[in-house]
């Protein structure tokens, strides 16, 4: 069974974006140590899962070869097949991407049952919260930026129950971000 992991940037108080989707609080530029960590995290990945809203910016940005990114990262993001989770799209407008609608858990279980390497989800907020609420992730890689927003789009949904996690590693980087590698604690 493939490993399904989440990578998301968040504020120290648990938000992945401001109230109106603001991302101007993210810590940049990244340093070599965090780049090496993310390269190691994505090296075994051969499938990227995105929500539709994030896909609309993510896929064209990487296709254009964003300034400041090394060519190996650009190539990895462009050549890795993508699954876009959407309730509104029926077919993909992007190269190397398919659209999956319907039941999220069923889609994830089918992806995990296929042969291949790791699967990584990058979000947006609706997808991230749904993956967490439905306990579909094997690993959470939270990149905690040293900023408190006070309000915004939370990473964790309010499920009405505790969401127990096990800390695997915590690693601070020179740029100020700390990566938390967590796994769900399952009975």
Checking if the pLDDT of 187 tops 90, the result is no
CA–CA separation, 59 and 62 (whole Å): 5
Decide if 153 contacts 17 (C-beta within 8 A). Answer: yes
**Token output for 147:** 């900023």
Give pLDDT, residue 174: 97
Domains of the chain, each with CATH number or no CATH: 4-17+26-175 (3.40.430.10)
CA–CA separation, 34 and 37 (whole Å): 5
Query: What average pLDDT score do residues 46-62 get?
Result: 94
Checking if the pLDDT of 48 tops 90, the result is yes
Query: What's the chain's average pLDDT?
Result: 95
Query: What average pLDDT score do residues 28-38 get?
Result: 94
Checking if the pLDDT of 1 tops 90, the result is no
pLDDT tens digits, residue range 67-126? 888 899 999 999 999 999 999 998 999 989 999 999 999 999 999 999 999 999 997 899
Give pLDDT, residue 68: 84
pLDDT tens digits, residue range 136-172? 999 999 999 999 999 999 999 999 989 999 999 999 9
Nearest of 147, 113, 178 to residue 25 by alpha carbon = 147
Give pLDDT, residue 69: 87
The residues facing 142 across adjacent strands are: 8, 180
Give pLDDT, residue 57: 92
Nearest of 133, 48, 134, 124 to residue 92 by alpha carbon = 48
Give pLDDT, residue 123: 78
The model's pTM is: 0.94
Query: What average pLDDT score do residues 41-48 get?
Result: 97
Cβ–Cβ contacts within 10 Å for residue 10, how many? 24
Give pLDDT, residue 120: 98
């Amino acid at each position: 069974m493939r490993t399904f992991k989440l990578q998301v940037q968040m504020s120290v108080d648990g938000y992945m974006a401001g109230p109106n989707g603001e991302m101007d609080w993210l810590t940049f530029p990244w340093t070599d140590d965090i780049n090496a960590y993310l390269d190691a995290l994505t090296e075994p990945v051969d499938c990227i899962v995105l929500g539709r809203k994030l896909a609309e910016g993510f896929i064209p940005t990487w296709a254009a070869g964003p300034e400041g990114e090394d060519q190996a990262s650009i190539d990895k993001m462009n050549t890795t097949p993508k699954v876009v989770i959407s309730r509104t799209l029926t077919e993909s407008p992007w190269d190397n991407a398919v659209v999956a609608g319907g039941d999220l858990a069923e889609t994830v279980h089918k992806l995990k049952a296929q042969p291949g390497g790791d699967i990584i989800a990058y979000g947006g907020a609706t997808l991230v919260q749904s993956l967490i609420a439905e306990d579909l992730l094997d690993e959470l890689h939270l990149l905690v930026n040293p900023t408190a927003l006070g309000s915004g789009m939370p990473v964790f949904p309010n499920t009405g129950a505790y969401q127990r996690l096990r800390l695997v590693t915590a690693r601070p980087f020179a740029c100020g971000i700390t990566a938390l590698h967590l796994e769900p604690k399952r009975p």
